[in-house]
Structures are given as C-alpha cells and as structure tokens.
Amino acid sequence: MTTFAAALLAAWERRTPGAKPYASEAVAAVLLDRAGVTVEDVEMGRVIVGVGDDGDLHDAVAWIGQRIWPDHYIDATDVPNTPQRDRERAVVHADIGDVVGPQAWQQAVGEAGYGLIVVVTHPDAVHAAIGSWTTKSVTLDRVDAEGVIASVVQLVTGTRPTLTSSLKDVTVADIRTALGPRDHCNSAVAKMTILRDLRASAYEKLMAKRRQEIADAKGRDTTKEFLDGLLDGEPKHERDTPLSKLSGFGPAKAWGLEVAADLIAYRQGELAWADCDRGVLLSGPPGVGKTRFARALAAEAGVKFFPSSFSSLCGASSSGYQVEKGLKKLFDEARKHAPCIVFLDEMDSVPGRDFKPDHNSSYFNAVNNAFLECLDGAEPRDGIVVIAATNFPERVDAALRRPGRLDREIAIPLPGIDDLAGIIRHHIGWQVPPELDGQVMLAARACRGMSPADVEQVCRDARRRARRDFGRAAALPGDIVWVVRERSGERDAAGERLVTVHEAGHAIVALAVGMHLDYVDADRQHTALRKAANPTAAVMEREMVMTLAGRAAEQVIIGEVTTGSVSDLKAATASAVAYHAVYGFGRETGLLSLDVQALDGWGPLHQGVRALVDRCYARALALVHHHRDNVERVAAALVQDRYLDGAEVRALVRHPLLKLVRPQVDEPEAYPDWATSDPRVGSRWGKTQANTA
C-alpha cells in the first residue's frame, strides 16, 4: 500500500527533480496517512474524508489529489463533460454539496472508473443512502495534534524539527505562511508559533486601539473627517502620511524630500524663492501613486495641499473659458496660503501644440495658454510648487516644461521588491514585527510588477480574507501571498516546467559568460541583466550566447524547442545583423556601417548573420550541457519561489560562481575557470581571448 507522503514526494520528483512539496499538500498527506487512508483506497474505492470546519484543510485535500493524479483527477461537477476515455481512469473529487442526494452520488460513482473521494465537514452528516456506498470513512486529526506538524516540516524540509514549545492552535494557514522547502525546520516552527500568537492577540489589540480612538474623539466633530476620507477613497492616516514615511516613487522621492526641506526653509525666511524648485511634471503608468506623492510631499513640508484636475476644472462646460476661470480661481486661492502645493492631474487630456492640428486645437491652445499664464504670468506665484501629473508625458505642451514653469520631468517607475515590502507594511493595517521580515519579503516578491494601487487592493483583499476565513482583524503576509496566487489561477505543470527551465538557462549561461544577473522572474518570464553600454565584438557575442541560452535549455533538458523561444531568436538575429552591418565587426561584410532596412537579400550579410547565430547557439548548447545540474537546480527553485535575485542564483549553483564571476557591467577581464573547463565550449571563451578583445 502506498502512503500519501510517498506518493506526494514521487509526484514532485517526476515534475521537478529535487523539489519539495508545498506545505498545504504536506499537511494533507500527513493527516491522510495518520487516518489510515492509502492511495489505493482512493483509486479503487469510495472514501469520505471529514476535515472539520477548516476550509484550508478542505482545499489541501483537493490540492494533493491534483498533485498525485494530475492527469485524471477531476471534480464531480465536471464528470458530465469529461470524455468517456478519461472517465475510465478518473479519480473524482466531490464536496458534500455535489452529492447531497443518492442519485447525484450514484451518478458520480458510476462515472468514475477508479475511485472517488468526498471531502465533508463531518462524515456523520452524510446522507444514509450515500454512506452505504462508501468503502472507507475517516475524520482527519487537527493539524495541531501531537506529531503532525513535526511530520509536515520533515516532509517539506527533509529534516525533523526539535519541538521546544506547544503548537496548540497552530492552523493550516500558519503552516502555509511559515513553511517553505528552503526554510530551516526549527525556524519554520518558531514562525508558526509567532503567527499563532499574533492571531490570538491582534484582534484585542486592534479593538483596544479603536476604543482609544473613540475616547479621544469625544467632544470633537469628526463628521467632516469621515466624509473627507470617503470622498478621497483613503483613510485619514493615509492622507496625512509624510513622504519620508512612504516607500516607492523612485527618483521622485529624493526630489520631493529636497523640495519639502526648501519649502520649510522658505517659510522660515532662510531661503529665497529664487533658489527653490517651482514644479515638476510627474509621469508614470496608472496606479504608481502620483496623487499620493503630491499629497505626501505637502504633508512632509507641512503646507496646504490643493488638488485638482482638468476634468474637474471643466465641470459640465466644454468652454475653454471655464477652464481658464477655474485655473485662475485655483491659483488665487493658493496664493493666500503660500507656501503650498498645487496638484494638477490629467495633463495629457490637453494635447500640446506639437500635435497635429484639428477642430479642437483652438480650445486646447486656449487652455495651454491659460495654464502658462498661471505658471509664468504677470502675477507672481512665490511659494507655490506646482506638481502636474500625466500618464503620457509626450502629449504635454513643450512650453510648460521650460525652467521656471514645470522645472523638470520625473518618471515614477513601478516599485521594486524593497519598495513593495515597505508599501505592504504601510497598507497591511498593523505594525508587522521584525520576526516576520522574511514573510513580508515573500509577499513583496509575490506582488512584483504591481503598482502601489494594486498592492493596496491586494492588502484590502487580504484583510477581508483574514476576517472572513479566520476571524482575524489583521492580515498576515501569508494572506497577501494567498490572494496573489489565487488571482494568478492554476498553473499548467508542463508549461511551468518549460518556463522555469528556459529562464534558468538564461540565468546560468549569463553567469557563465560573465554577465551581471539582476534577477529571474518565472511569472513574468523575464531574466534581467545589465548589459554593457558600448560593447566590444566579444561582449556582443557573449550577449547573443546568453540570449539563445533559453532555447538551448529547452533543447537539452526538455528535449525539444518550442515556439515560445522565437522572441529570443529574433533578438539574437537582430544583434547579429547589427554586429555585421552597423558596427563593422563581421569578416564577411567588412568594415562598414549601413542602413539595415536597405540590406534585405544581401548575400554576404545573410551568410555572416547565419554563421554567427549558429556559432553562438552552439556555445549556448555546450554551456547548458556542461552546467545542466545548475540549470535544473535553479529551475526547481523557480517553481517554488517564482523569483530569484542574482545573489540567490549564484548561491544555488555548485560551482563557485559567487567568488569567480565579478558582477560588473564592463567586459570582464577573464571568464571563471569552470566556464572553460569543458572542451566543447572552445578556447575562444578563455582568458586570452577575453583580455585581448
């Protein structure tokens, strides 16, 4: 008879050699084994599994079934739509709601050729007629029962922990948040107890804080504050947070802190207005926090904030005079409260005069002229810093960006991992202790690529989940990870294997040829590298080898190349064309630099490009062959973590990459010894060639 723990490990080994199971799956495996249920019981019979009121445990049983029987584990509701040939091999998963009556139960059982597993709250709640069909009925232990968590940790990490304190009331959610295959067994257990204790005390602490806030508010009219918060879409504490306390905003934050210091000095008479920046044009994708930045800058400087937008200035009128009137009123009010911040959103809604004229041009020109008059007209605007925001800076009139008006343009990028961690701490709703720093970073990695507005929404959803599913007033970092993963949906195992191997190939070959690796992101199918600004011929060739390494990894490890690598092939081909026809590096084409668009069909170029791409691909194949173990190891880590930075990739490989590969942008003096130890790589990639290139 096969235990679920053994079957789970075997399933992961088939999918990704060396990988360990997820914590939730391990919990289900350990509890099913303790209940005496075997894999054969499910495959050949009809098993009822009681999980109590734990919704996470209910999900875990479903997940382990999908892992062990990935090709023929189906939901009872999908049975009617499943082809007959697949039904004959099926293991059907059903909830009690799917089989509330004998007929539905009999249909599900009859369609399943192998077996059926029904997950219920309590087995004794099963209809009597349904119960007569079962071959086994069990109730799973609580996850905090003696020995369960130790076995789960051992299954995930490979090492049994030393238990020094009680694990009573630890939940599946705590285990899932605290435990990963790369965690030390004892530290994972310690984090579980921290999460349990936080959950127990968070609600009472939050209620005490609310009671104090109510007591402090007595005798004060808080209606306006409440309505302001509703209208602005953010709580009062969000609106008053100074810029120095917020994360993200890229280079705009450094500029903003300098401007805040200047405004304070100007207000105190220590700095002339002529020495202060007058304004900025903020650009960036929606949701990066342009409005929040402007509000936080005003809070940092302790000055009044005047928010507006061109749509609000227009009101219900389509007249340019209405906008001109609104702008004049806005700046007149700002002059009364200088120093202050004026924020104007939607700058791109008024195209500049560089755009193609049309029947609206006279209206837009009038609006631009009115704004220019406010920025740099007869009436001074001493003490008024103007922050204009746009998603499309190229549409803003060039005259507005001159010095003395909007002095500079700053793009706010999407936040990086460290900034995301700070944003999560700000929005999660409570002071996260240092013990959970690692979990916050995991949540930040899960949110990579999101805007601050996206992260705020995720944190809101996480708090809702904490209240709804666990009765917690506060969300934990693990709730955020869960929300993000739920949004991404179920991953296809074969497709995930292809993506992780492809990106791991890029990463390992990049290190092998001496390039600087920033990170690898499996979810976004991207490997970030720093490339030389003015590469030599040798550096260009190495970059082409790295570009083709994902395709090479597919061929060597997967066994066949997919169409997904076409973008890499296009990029390598474009580099090879530039190598020959633009930079004059090719022997076949000679020393020249031509218009690439005019070279279609030129024989020497085609021959040279083909030979160079073939040569670089052969080197990529050789490096992937030689470092296959490293590629596999990084791919397995990407399956688990989805994102690895350069230091983590270097730490994963067996060869001493971290010591031998120097992370620099310019061409390295030499390749690491291990990169040239395989004769298939070729002597050109050794120290002599690199030093003389």
How far, rounded to the nearest angstrom, does the alpha carbon of residue 619 sit from its chain's CA centroid? 33
Three-class SS of residue 19?
coil
Question: For residues 39 and 15, is the Cβ–Cβ distance under 8 A?
Answer: no
| Contact indicator for 279, 406 with CB cutoff of 8 Å | yes
Helix (H) or strand (E) segment spanning residue 152: helix 148-157
Q: State phi, psi for 517 to the nearest 5 degrees.
A: -95, 125
Cα 39 to Cα 68, 87, 392: the distances in Å are 9, 18, 58
CB distance 331 to 381 below 8 Å: yes
Q: Catalytic positions, please?
A: 503
- In terms of Cα–Cα distance, which of 435, 408, 331, 341 is closest to 376? 331
Rounded CA gap, 422 and 246, in Å?
7
Give the list of residues 6+ apart from residue 63 with CB closer than 8 angstroms, or none: 22, 24, 25, 28
Nearest to 658 by CA among 645, 644, 668, 647: 647
Spell 529-565 as b/e; 16+ CB within 10 A means b. beebeebeebbbbbbbbbbbbbbbbbbbbeeebeeeb
Question: 553: Cβ–Cβ under 8 A, 6 or more apart, which residues?
Answer: 501, 502, 504, 505, 506, 624, 631
d(CA 608, CA 585): 10
Q: Are 177 and 478 in contact (CB under 8 A)?
A: yes
Q: How far, in Å, CA of 369 to CA of 385, rounded?
A: 19
* Contact yes or no for 281/323 (Cβ under 8 A): no
